[in-house]
Amino acid sequence: MQEAASEFTTLSTFIPSRHKRILPSMPAFYPDDAKDIPSSPSTASPSTIADADRYSRQILFPGIGESGQKRLRHAHAVVVGVGATGAATASLLARAGVGHLTLIDRDFVEPSNLQRQMLFDEDDARASLPKAEAARLHLARINSSVHVTAHTADLVPHNASELLSDAHIVLDCTDNFETRYLINDLCVRDARPWIYAAAVGAYAATMNILPPGASTLADTFAYAPTACLACIFPSPPSGNVETCDTAGILSTAVNLAASIQVTEALKFLTAQPHLMRRTLLSFDLWSTEANNALARSEISTTKPRPDCEVCGQRIFRALSGDQRPHITLCGRNSVQIHEHHRPLNLTDLKARLQPLGQVRSNGHLIRFHYPPYTITAFPDGRALIQGTTNVGLARSLYARFIGS
């Protein structure tokens, strides 16, 4: 683990800052005989694209084939964060035919997103659509046979169990370690596999987490557990950590991270966890090693750390929410205020704010411009205060215009 500690120092320069079996409610999706899974109805409308046509090249790949494609149709993957990595990941999963996707994101589309967030377009940015909802609409046009559930929400301890409850696998596409530790706690507690991914600048990194205590998934296949996130990173990065807002980001790095992440997910969802990588893998796409090879690093995650607080001692601090801040900085010269206990009526709020300044509403959120600040309020009570990093000022603006 000394090597891992060294790698933590390296990774912290580019990772963004912003024992029980599967739950009874978790549906089995690996039947004893994959051939028993029914094919698409032959009575589909003429406009429906047949699976045999849509997935023909993927079925030709021996690693998936017809049986693997049928398994994917009955799989459920949750994507947490639908920004750059999440948009690419969701698109790849939908195109691969994963039958049910749940998208969770707390943010909305902005013009600066369009350079790298592949699912969104200029209309989404003009309308300030929530990313989860905009992604759902685009995915419906990509593959109408995939069921997509969109949640415009901040993944927090009080809703995490519900939002992730029936997922077969969770894909982390977030931009902060706070949420990643929450995902790790919940997935280790519930023995649910998840995949970490990060990208910033020209760097990309991924890691598969197969929690201990999950020797089987729906009593169908076995796998050896890996280290969890807390095994490798006992505490989050400290000091100055590069983010997309400070170091920029290449869309190619985003797409590399998403491609590796989705490939590993497809291995799992087609009942081939023995093929999944058991390393923390990172690439620097802009640099080369002394031998002119692409700069990369790979650290073994084969074995959980025995004294790990999470998967070893089963202490879930992130899931308890005891240390979760009420107000957080979230880049873009913004402060996010988490007021989940007080849902907002957007219609009433719009009526109250219109006499005071410019108000835009799209049914999913309200944006109130009060120069030099912009307040974006969501139905769950959250708000983004843009134009300041002063927490006290942000709290004051929230109380003044939304209420306390």
pLDDT in tens, 145-194: 999 999 998 898 989 999 998 999 999 999 888 899 999 999 999 999 99
Q: How far apart are CA 207 and CA 298, in angstroms?
A: 10
Q: pLDDT: is 390 or 255 the higher one?
A: 255
Q: Is the pLDDT of residue 350 over 80?
A: yes
- Average pLDDT of 304-330? 82
pLDDT range class, residue 217, cuts 50, 70, 90: very low
CATH topology classification for 327-401: TATA-Binding Protein (3.30.310)
Take residue 72 and report the two structure tokens written for it.
């994917």
In the predicted model, what is the mean pLDDT of the chain?
83
Q: pLDDT per residue over 17-54, tens digit each?
A: 333 333 333 345 544 444 433 333 333 444 689 999 99
pLDDT range class, residue 393, cuts 50, 70, 90: confident
Q: How far apart are CA 51 and CA 49, in angstroms?
A: 7
Burial of 315 (0-12, 13-18, 19+ CB in 10 A): middle
383-386: strand order across its sheet: 327-329, 334-337, 383-386, 373-377, 366-370, 358-361
Q: pLDDT per residue over 239-251, tens digit each?
A: 545 667 667 889 9
pLDDT range class, residue 13, cuts 50, 70, 90: very low
Q: Is the pLDDT of residue 257 over 90?
A: yes
The domain segmentation of the chain, as residue ranges, is 2-40+47-320, 327-401
DSSP state of 215: S
- Write down the number of H helices and E strands in the chain: 15, 14
In this prediction, residue 235 carries a pLDDT of: 87
Closest CA to 111 of 130, 96, 124: 124
Specify the pTM.
0.77
The pair phi, psi for residue 222, each rounded to 5°, is -110, 155
Q: How far apart are CA 239 and CA 33, in angstroms?
A: 52
Residue 91: CA count within 13 A, CB half-sphere? 20
Take residue 55 and report the two structure tokens written for it.
């997935």
pLDDT range class, residue 204, cuts 50, 70, 90: very high
CA angle 104, 372, 325 (to 5 degrees): 40
Q: Is the pLDDT of residue 3 over 70?
A: no
In this prediction, residue 19 carries a pLDDT of: 32
Q: Is the pLDDT of residue 4 over 60?
A: no
Q: What architecture is the 2-40+47-320 domain classified under in CATH? A: 3-Layer(aba) Sandwich (3.40)
